[in-house]
Amino acid sequence: MIFASAKGKIFKRRLKKQLSQGVPYWEISRRATSLLPSPQAATDVLLKGTYITGYSNLLLSLEANQKSGCLIIQSDKTKSRSGTLIFKGRILGCMYGQKNLKNYLFENHAFERALRDLQSSKKTVDVYQLKDEIVIAAAALFHGPTFEEPDMPAIKFFDEVYRQLVESNVPGCVVMRDKNDESTYVVYIFAGQIVGIHYSKKGWMQPDLPSVYKYLNQNPHQRMQACILPCQNEVEVNKYSFSLSGLADRDFSKVIATDKYDCLNIFYMLSMDKERLAHYEEHPDIIHMERFFPNVSQTHYKFLSRLGNIGNFAVHP
């Protein structure tokens, strides 16, 4: 048993190796779209079952505003469903399933198919926000190694996983299923704390240890899986992501110069200085280019990621 006290060092060595190399130990975890986090409140839902035509505007808006959450696309035409996990306007995980496909597609291949559905007719779109820490913990389902110990009691397995996550300060989640796979109970862990618990039958639960123990005492025969994301700060998380619109990953140094202003650069500016802009609105005869410059304190996330985030994860109060 990996998490037994006699072999606890094995798990620590594996985890240390993953953190030093920055790559998953066991490729991508295969998970259904039903395991993506659901919205925590009605106010978090931005779009629900909506048919949209200007899909590019949607992607640009999510990226420019650094939204974190999920984009769900369901197409009646292709009999497909896709789920995209978004972290601060970047794709941190994507899966695509179709009736004629034997297995799910993941990452870039999945998002390419999802974009085709987004452009086509007869599809619905759901978009909702999530907390950053929930998104990062859920990303372990896509990029992290998976640990299972069928012979270990459920409570002991959870205790060992939780202790290791707290000690190593890496995000992850523990997925519990009943024998018939009719219900799931997911515990999201970030910065050594439980930041979310979702039960498929009751929705979001109180995020604390007593809630987990109460569930396990009532359901002792659960199938347990632990997924861990080998990252210790947001910069390392960003290495697993790619641009939602494609613009943020574009190499502008290779763009051929033209006699027209390249309007794509405007997407590197997330917000304008509202006070300065209001001043010019009172004097419409005055035109200055600086009205399009962002406030000094509001910088594009791409630039922030270049500077680096040296500290470990921390839960925001």
Reading the chain (317 residues) residue by residue, the pLDDT tens digits are: 344 444 455 555 655 555 444 433 333 334 456 778 999 999 999 988 877 777 788 898 999 999 999 999 998 888 899 999 999 999 999 999 888 888 888 888 899 999 988 888 788 899 999 999 999 999 999 988 888 888 889 999 999 999 989 888 899 999 998 877 777 899 999 999 999 999 988 999 999 999 999 999 999 889 999 999 988 888 899 889 999 888 777 654 555 555 444 444 434 333 444 454 455 455 444 434 333 334 434 444 444 344 344 456 766 55
Distance of alpha carbon 262 from alpha carbon 218, whole angstroms: 60
**Residue 38: which residues within 8 A CB-CB, separation 6 or more?**
128, 198, 203, 204
pLDDT at residue number 258: 52
**Cα dihedral sign, 90-93-96-101:** positive
Is-contact 147 225, C-beta < 8 A?
yes
Return the pLDDT at 123. 86
HEC-encoded secondary structure of 99-151? CCCCCCEEHHHHHHHHHHHHHCCCEEEEEEECCHHHHHHHCHHHHCCEECCCC
Whole-structure pTM value: 0.73
Are the CB atoms for 228 and 237 separated by under 8 Å? no
**What are the structure tokens assigned to 257, written together?**
């110069």
Q: CB of 70 within 8 A of CB of 130?
A: yes
What are 86's strand-pairing partners?
A: 69, 91
The predicted pLDDT at position 1 comes to 38
pLDDT, residue 19, reads 47
Q: Which tokens sit at 107? A: 């990452």
DSSP 193-252: EEEEEEETTTEEE--SHHHHHHHHHH--S-EEEEEE---SSHHHHHTT-EESSSSTT--G
* Nearest alpha carbon to residue 129 among 173, 185, 86: 86
List the Cα angle 193/197/201 in 5-degree steps.
170
